[in-house]
Amino acid sequence: MKLPIETQLKLRKFVPRKYQWPLIDGIEKEGYKRVLAIMPRRCIDGDSHILMSDGSPTYLKDIKVGDNILSWDGNSFVPDRVKHIWKTEKKESIDVKTPIMTVTCSENHVFAHSSGTANKVNWSPINAINEHGNLLHYAGTESTIHTPELAAFWGYMLSDGYVSGEQQPKFTNTNMVILKRVEELALKLFDVVSIWRPKGNGFDVGFSNGTKGGGTFINPIKELFRKENVNIPKYKRRLPKSLWNLDRESLLYFFSGIISGDGSIATSRVFTPKGK
């Protein structure tokens, strides 16, 4: 006896999604012989982060075939290789914001979340999770690279620094202790000359490569930002990948620098409809 499609699917441990049931019912219950189906894909936008196999984040739009990323195998995160890339058409989307991340996704994109039961992981569309839901994220493993002074410099520059385009890198602040500390780090780490310029109640400290107009010698600070793909306007900037490899002490130096720079790291709201 031929088993119904629903039974076959269950035996193969495949659970149809909500939007797939009309197709199955059409064949199994309505007697359709031929069906044209266009299956919508759940998706996130290109500026959302994907975790690589080493735990570092990369924009979805920058992922390439062959990249090694982290995937969920049903029990834990495991390394996986990207085999194919495709694009979907435009669709309605929402912003999902938490204190540690922001993701723009379609309304039926599924997220891992806890239900209050120990060690229980559930997957649900974001529109089925309320504002108090606990989304799960990958915490990674502790790294061992020890470079506290460079980490502190990153903190200062990511808060009140400016490295974008072809302009000279600079740091702006009103606190003389912080300004001199950044000047000291720039000289020690990169052997660059600091040029002070008054700005409002404080100063711009520019980091020169030793030439007027540039172009003759590579500016090491600008090159550092280019290497990490963060030589972009501040509002688009994300944490450099190298920070994910720092040990605990270096991370403390980083947070000290970024908090000292402007007194804050980020603000967030939860479930803000896109465009509102």
Convert the pLDDT of each residue in 52-71 to its tens digit: 887 777 888 889 999 999 88
Question: What integer best gives the mean pLDDT of the chain?
Answer: 78
Average pLDDT estimate for 171-196: 93
Q: Both 153 and 244 in a single domain?
A: yes
Residue 268: inside a domain: no
pLDDT(246) > 90: no
CATH number, domain of 105, equals 2.170.16.10
Q: Both 32 and 53 in a single domain?
A: no
> 196: which 2 tokens?
């002070």
Q: Both 249 and 221 in a single domain?
A: yes
Among 93, 111, 135, the domain boundary falls at 135
Cα–Cα distance list, 111 to 20, 106, 108, 123, 183 (Å): 19, 11, 9, 5, 44
Supply the pLDDT for residue 20: 72
Residue 185: inside a domain: yes
Q: Both 60 and 128 in a single domain?
A: yes
Identify which has the larger pLDDT, 114 or 2.
114
Q: What is the spatial distance between Cα 209 and Cα 198, in angstroms, rounded to a whole number? A: 20
> 226: which 2 tokens?
């280019």
Q: How far is CA 190 from the centre of its chain?
A: 28
Q: Both 119 and 152 in a single domain?
A: no
What are the residues whose beta carbons fall under 8 Å from the beta carbon of 193, sequence distance 6 or more?
A: 187, 207, 208, 210
pLDDT(215) > 70: no
CATH number, domain of 247, equals 3.10.28.10
Q: Both 98 and 172 in a single domain?
A: no
Q: How many CB atoms lie within 10 A of CB 172?
A: 20
pLDDT(264) > 60: no
Residue 155 host element (H or E): helix 148-160
What is the rounded end-to-end Cα distance, in angstroms, of the chain? 56
User: Can you give the pTM of this predicted structure?
Assistant: 0.50
pLDDT(118) > 60: no
Among 111, 135, 159, the domain boundary falls at 135
Q: What angle do CA 20, 24, 29 make, to 5 degrees?
A: 145
Q: Both 83 and 17 in a single domain?
A: no
Supply the pLDDT for residue 269: 38
* Bridge partner residues of 135 (DSSP): 113
Q: Both 27 and 82 in a single domain?
A: no
Q: Both 168 and 255 in a single domain?
A: yes
Instruction: Sort strands 49-51 and 57-59 into parallel, antiparallel or unpaired.
Output: antiparallel
Residue 269: inside a domain: no
Residue 140: inside a domain: no
The helix-helix angle for 220-227 and 176-190 (nearest 10°) equals 90
Q: Both 13 and 73 in a single domain?
A: no
Structural domain of 214: 148-262
Supply the pLDDT for residue 211: 61
Q: Which range is least confidently modeled, 6-20, 70-84, 223-237?
A: 6-20
Q: Both 15 and 57 in a single domain?
A: no
Residue 276: inside a domain: no
Structural domain total, the chain = 3
Torsion angle defined by CA atoms of residues 209, 214, 216 and 219, in that order, rounded to the nearest 10 degrees = 40
Q: b or e along 94-128 (b: 16 or more beta carbons within 10 Å of the residue's beta carbon)? A: bbbbeeeeebbbbebbebebeeeeeeeeeeebbee
Residue 141: inside a domain: no
Share of the chain above pLDDT 70, in %: 76
